[in-house]
Structure formats: structure tokens, C-alpha cells
């Protein structure tokens, strides 16, 4: 007679749910990183343009160039402001999914612990039956001799 965990199907379902949440978390992290990288690139580009504009101030510049630079910087600032809420939403989604993953991991651990306990109980029972059977064989052998 082999060991069978009474809640094996539940454990299997919980593990599949955990794997699904892990995939969802991976997608959320990727989305967050994508938006964060876009914001970083915009800010880096803005900084480079500001440095270039500062150099232009020190030299003779055409007012039209200065206006174009300022408009471009303003549009980049607006783009960053538009992306900030998206980044925050992506961060919140990622954190929510991390919480779900943590809860699911706890659920899976509970069932795995329960399985371990039942298996240990099964082993103890098997050992007890085996010892009882050995005792009976010893008694029979002793009785025959």
C-alpha cells in the first residue's frame, strides 16, 4: 500500500495558481520596468538638452533656436508628467501581485506541510505494522522450535 495524500488535487491546483501568479508578476514587473526606463530615457535626454542649452547661452545663439529648445524641453517635461501616473499604477499593480503571490505561497506551504505530516504519520503506521508482523513471525518461529 503506497502513500496517497488526501488533498493532492487541492495542492496541485494551488501550485498551478501560484505559477500563474508568478507569470502575472513577471509581466507586471516587465511593464513597470518598461515605463520606468522610458521615463529615465526622457529625463536623461532632457538633461542633455538642458546642458546643451546652457552652452548655447554662453555662446551667441539665435533666439529661434532657444525657443525651439525651450519648447522641446517643455514637451519632454509634459511627457514625463503623463508617464508618472502610469508608472505609479504599474508599481501598485506589481505590489498587489506580489502580495497575491505571497498569499498563494503561504497556501501552498500549508498544504505541503500537511502532506509532510500525513506522510510521517503513514510511515509511523507502516513501521508499526511491519514491527507487529515481525513480532508475529518471531512468535511463530519460536513456537515451532
Q: Give the helix ranges, DSSP H, for the chain.
A: 8-58, 63-144
Q: What angle do CA 55, 79, 24 make, to 5 degrees?
A: 130
- The answer to whether position 143 is within a domain reads no
Assigned domain for 138 exists: no
- Summarize pLDDT for 18-33 with one digit per residue, the tens: 999 999 999 999 999 9
pLDDT at 61 (0 to 100): 67
Range of the domain at 61: 8-108
Residue 140 has pLDDT above 80, yes or no: yes
Give the model's pLDDT for residue 135.
Answer: 85
- Answer whether residue 102 is part of any domain: yes
Q: Which residues contact 36 (CB under 8 A, 6 or more apart)?
A: 87
Q: How many domains does the chain have?
A: 1
pTM over 0.75: no
**Is residue 73 situated within a structural domain?**
yes
Q: Classify residue 114: in a domain, yes or no.
A: no
Buried b / exposed e along 84-117 (16+ C-beta atoms within 10 A): eebbeebeebbeebeebbeebeebbeebeeebee
DSSP label of 6: T
Amino acid at each position: 500500500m503506497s502513500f496517497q495524500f488526501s488533498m493532492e488535487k487541492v495542492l496541485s491546483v494551488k501550485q498551478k495558481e501560484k505559477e500563474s501568479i508568478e507569470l502575472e508578476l513577471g509581466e507586471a514587473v516587465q511593464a513597470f520596468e518598461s515605463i520606468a526606463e522610458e521615463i529615465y530615457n526622457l529625463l536623461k535626454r532632457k538633461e542633455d538638452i538642458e546642458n546643451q542649452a546652457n552652452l548655447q547661452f554662453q555662446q551667441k545663439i539665435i533666439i529661434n533656436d532657444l525657443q525651439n529648445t525651450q519648447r522641446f524641453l517643455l514637451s519632454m517635461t509634459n511627457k514625463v508628467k503623463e508617464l508618472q501616473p502610469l508608472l505609479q499604477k504599474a508599481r501598485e499593480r506589481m505590489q498587489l501581485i506580489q502580495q497575491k503571490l505571497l498569499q498563494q505561497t503561504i497556501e501552498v506551504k500549508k498544504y505541503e506541510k500537511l502532506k509532510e505530516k500525513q506522510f510521517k504519520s503513514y510511515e509511523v503506521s507502516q513501521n508499526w505494522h511491519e514491527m507487529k508482523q515481525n513480532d508475529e513471525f518471531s512468535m511463530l518461529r519460536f513456537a515451532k522450535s
